[in-house]
Amino acid sequence: MDLFDKITKSLGGPIGQHQKWSHGYFSFPKLEGEIGPHMEFKGKEHLVWSLNNYLGLANHPEVRQADAQAAADYGMAYPMGARMMSGNSIHHEELENNLAAFVGKQSAFLLNYGYQGMVSIIDALVDRNDVIVYDAESHACIIDGVRLHMGKRFVYQHNDIESCEKQLERATRLTEQTGGGILLITEGVFGMSGAQGKLKAVADLKKKFNFRLLVDDAHGFGTMGKTGAGTHEEQDCMDEVDVYFATFAKSMAGIGAFVAADQDIIHYLRYNMRSQTFAKALPMPMVLGLKKRFEMLKTQPELREKLWLIANTLQAGLKERGFDLGASNTMVTPVFLKGDLFEATALTRDLRENYGIFCSIVVYPVIPKGLIVLRLIPTAAHSLEDVQRTLDAYSAIGEKLKAGYYKENKLEIA
């Protein structure tokens, strides 16, 4: 067993995702009513800041009732088949139409999974004559989609519009020879750093270049913008985004995703996305459960307001205590610390075992050596008391880190 595996084992699972579900270390209690972010790890209660549940819908009583009723009415199998064959229903179409209208597009297409969906969208939209231009810090699903591309692809420095323009110049020269087009891909909210993608600035480049803009707004849908429609609403460039993609896994705490665009683009994708053409449709209980979640997202703005109250209070408190939150201008809250891998391991275990707080940790090789990132995901299910408890704990571990406590008290690894 190498050093990385030993440290991973000591954390209870992979770094950055260290809940060992299969071994029963981390359990969700069965509760009546709305479940909060307090869960059990090895029999002890912990406050968790690593759940994709922005609006607190994961176990909301109304959502649970809708899920249960749909399962009772339809079972988990129906509809039996792919959407183009026997897998369609009026509920699938109604959800698509409502989603499209909400994010400002003509049409939408339901996808079984977010990661798989983005990979397949990219694969369907480009051929060997086209060029992809994409942000250097794009999510893994974008990177994997780009890898499938048989033509050229150019990467620009993260959120650097000057770099983006240079890559568009290169792409334009190439497509003038091939006769292809340019697909520019970025994110609405970068999930690791919490920084918004510069959608408005990128869209303004259309005045100089001919390209289509594809935005992955997994973290922005339901959380950003006046109505929660997304980061393109927040930045007032809804019409300039040609293809809008979001998952149900974050704000709606569900399974699946959707892509929205002009009607002709969506019609094309319905018949050319191999991951959907040859896959069973989303089961009815999921679709009906998503309809309920979406209804609550639209009609209960207090959920989004609570999320932002928690996020703003948490971030303000951390900044007051001298913590570096990097470039985050969204609810995603990364805390940047300086320390080696052993310190990161000892600090994380101290935070978990002695302060009862669970959060995602990111270390080398994901980030440079000497850095530690503790990423907090605020949700509407958290309370202001949870925030205060976390701020007190971070103050304590921050002082310990500065004093060299974690160097002197390295975690013993068997």
pLDDT in tens, 240-295: 999 999 999 999 999 999 999 999 999 999 999 988 888 888 899 999 999 999 99
pLDDT > 50? residue 22: no
Which architecture characterizes domain 10-47+300-406 according to CATH? Answer: Alpha-Beta Complex (3.90)
Question: Residues with Cβ < 8 Å from 296, sequence gap 6 or more?
Answer: 55, 57, 60, 62, 63, 303
Q: What percent of the chain has pLDDT over 90?
A: 74
Across 121-132, average pLDDT: 97
Q: Which residues are paired to 134 by β-bridges?
A: 155, 185
Please calculate the CA angle 25-380-18 and round it to the nearest 5 degrees.
Answer: 25
Q: How far is CA 52 from CA 29, 55, 253, 348, in A?
A: 17, 9, 7, 20
Question: Residues with Cβ < 8 Å from 95, sequence gap 6 or more?
Answer: 110, 287, 290, 291, 294
Every domain range in the chain assigned CATH 3.90.1150.10: 10-47+300-406
Residue type, 404: G
Q: What global pTM score does this model have?
A: 0.89
CB 104 within 8 A of CB 232: yes
Every domain range in the chain assigned CATH 3.40.640.10: 59-297
Structural tokens at position 323: 């913590």
pLDDT at 36: 64
Q: Which of 251, 193, 234, 254 is nearest to 381 (CA)?
A: 251
**CATH placement of domain 59-297:** 3.40.640.10
Across 210-227, average pLDDT: 98
Q: List, for residues 137-194, the tens digit of each pLDDT value.
A: 999 999 999 999 999 999 999 999 999 999 999 999 999 999 999 999 999 999 989 9
Compute how many other C-beta atoms are within 10 angstroms of the C-beta atom of residue 94: 12
Across 6-15, 188-197, 256-265, 394-403, least confident range:
6-15
Question: How many Cα atoms are found within 13 Å in the side-chain-facing hemisphere of 229?
Answer: 21
Q: Given CA atoms 207, 208, 210, 212 in this order, what sign does their dihedral have?
A: negative
pLDDT > 90? residue 307: yes
